[in-house]
């Protein structure tokens, strides 16, 4: 089902909201629905079976992941402390020879050690650190450890979350790093890295929804994490690495032919769901949300301050991915032209989102000659910038949200310009 104004004729939280003349709270954010067996009744009967199989496979895989970790400990033995959150340090722009050095090999060994039994990786971990210990968790503690706070991001299990994810570039970055290392380590010594990549490819294939999208976390974990996730370029990155596998790119040339064919088919399915998720308003294609419901493809919320919206940065990433497609179909061309037109119409000039004082931090201010910049989120109905806060309020002025939330998020950026730059070249071949 296409996400359109008739299906989600909402400004934000399910209700149309009039445009505010002065800064105001214009709505309240509401949580996304998880993917469950009960929800499959929303689908036509002939479409339910693949989704039911997917959910059952996901549940079974989580049990395997948990049991595998537990089996690494002797009876009564206490598990090691969980990993400490940090930056990945998996650089992908070094000279080719560097990836054969002891430094790179050590990072690769740590990466392999933290691969989950399902074949993915968690996020926000320092891969220059030590290898995973027996019985040590694959992921960090939850980002939100407090319970009963009303947070949309509160996990079902604070000690088992993001155990396999595409968030923050996880899994695809590990695979690309290992691909570079294995090129420099031929023969038996590199087999462990090649085996890990193949396991990662199979993970991406298993995690892909029947309609071609990917959740943020697999095995699925509930809440907004079950949505098809364009945020952090998750769907596009998964599809692009599978494209590279299918095409036999040098870092993945060792992948068996049958698996390469499956990777290519999966990437093609992802293109179809991307096209279907482009939001249509008043019969006109616009842009993409940060995430959409797995079954309906309607825009959904994420964290308390991340409301249903059209997202400029995520749309830019999707457009760049679509423009990468060889021999684009008429549907791809139409989607790209419409998406770029939407971005161009929302470019902001003469404003800057910048620090104004130590007391206030960043605010949106007048700055002659500045721009273009874009708001991160736009109301689906009006196309105007909107902003969220921890209290779930949705506001029409970034300067009015709490200082901590205003300064802790990229509410405005110039990131969409990269899509416009790519379009300038792409449109010469695809007018």
Catalytic residues: 168, 303
Residue ranges of alpha helices (H) inside 115-231 are 172-184, 191-207
For residue 374, the tally of other CB atoms under 10 A from its CB is 23
**Secondary structure (3-state) at 165:** strand
Structure tokens at 333: 């061309």
Q: CA 346 to CA 378: how far, in whole Å?
A: 9
Q: Going by C-beta distance under 8 Å and a sequence separation of 6 or more, which residues neighbour residue 3?
A: 277, 278, 279, 280, 289, 292, 296, 297, 298, 299
Q: CA 287 to CA 257: how far, in whole Å?
A: 36
Phi, psi of 194 (to 5 degrees): -65, -40
Separation in Å, CA 54 to CA 40, 206, 216, 241: 11, 8, 15, 22
Structure tokens at 429: 């071949």
Alpha carbon dihedral 136, 137, 138, 141, in 10-degree steps, equals -140
Q: What is the DSSP string of 202-228?
A: HHHHHHS-TTS--BSBSS--SGGGGSE
């Amino acid at each position: 089902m296409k996400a359109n104004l008739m299906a989600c004729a909402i400004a934000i939280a399910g209700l149309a909201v009039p445009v505010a003349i002065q800064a105001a709270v214009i709505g309240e954010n509401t949580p996304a629905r998880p993917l469950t067996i009960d929800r499959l009744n929303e689908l036509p009967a002939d479409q339910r079976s693949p989704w039911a199989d997917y959910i059952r496979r996901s549940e079974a895989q989580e049990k395997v992941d948990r049991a595998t970790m537990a089996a690494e400990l002797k009876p009564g033995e206490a598990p090691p402390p969980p990993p400490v959150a940090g930056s990945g340090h998996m650089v992908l722009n070094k000279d080719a020879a560097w990836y054969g050095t002891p430094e790179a090999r050590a990072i690769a060994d740590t990466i392999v050690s933290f691969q989950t039994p399902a074949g993915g990786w968690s996020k926000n971990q320092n891969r220059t650190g030590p290898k995973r210990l027996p019985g040590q968790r694959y992921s960090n503690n939850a980002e939100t450890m407090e319970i009963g706070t009303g947070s949309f991001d509160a996990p079902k299990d604070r000690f088992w979350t993001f155990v396999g994810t595409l968030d923050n570039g996880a899994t695809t970055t590990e695979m690309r790093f290992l691909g570079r290392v294995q090129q420099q380590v031929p023969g038996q010594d590199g087999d462990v890295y090649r085996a890990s990549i193949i396991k990662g490819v199979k993970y991406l294939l298993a995690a892909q929804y029947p309609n071609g999208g990917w959740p943020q976390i697999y095995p699925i974990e509930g809440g907004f994490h079950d949505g098809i996730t364009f945020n952090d370029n998750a769907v596009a990155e998964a599809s692009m690495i599978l494209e590279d596998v299918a095409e036999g790119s040098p870092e993945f040339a060792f992948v068996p032919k049958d698996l390469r064919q499956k990777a290519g088919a999966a990437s093609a399915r992802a293109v179809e769901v991307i096209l279907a998720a482009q939001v249509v308003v008043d019969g006109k294609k616009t842009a993409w949300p940060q995430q959409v419901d797995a079954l309906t493809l309607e825009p959904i919320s994420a964290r308390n301050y991340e409301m249903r919206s059209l997202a400029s940065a995520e749309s830019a990433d999707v457009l760049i991915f679509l423009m990468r497609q060889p021999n684009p179909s008429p549907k791809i061309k139409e989607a790209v032209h419409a998406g770029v037109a939407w971005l161009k119409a929302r470019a902001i000039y003469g404003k800057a989102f910048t620090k104004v004082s130590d007391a206030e931090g960043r605010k949106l201010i007048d700055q002659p000659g500045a721009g273009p910049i874009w708001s991160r989120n736009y109301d689906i109905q009006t196309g105007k910038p909107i902003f969220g806060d921890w209290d779930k309020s949705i506001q029409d002025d970034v300067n009015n949200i709490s200082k901590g939330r205003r300064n802790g998020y990229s509410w405005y950026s110039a990131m969409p310009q990269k899509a416009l730059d790519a379009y300038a070249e792409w449109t010469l071949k695809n007018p």
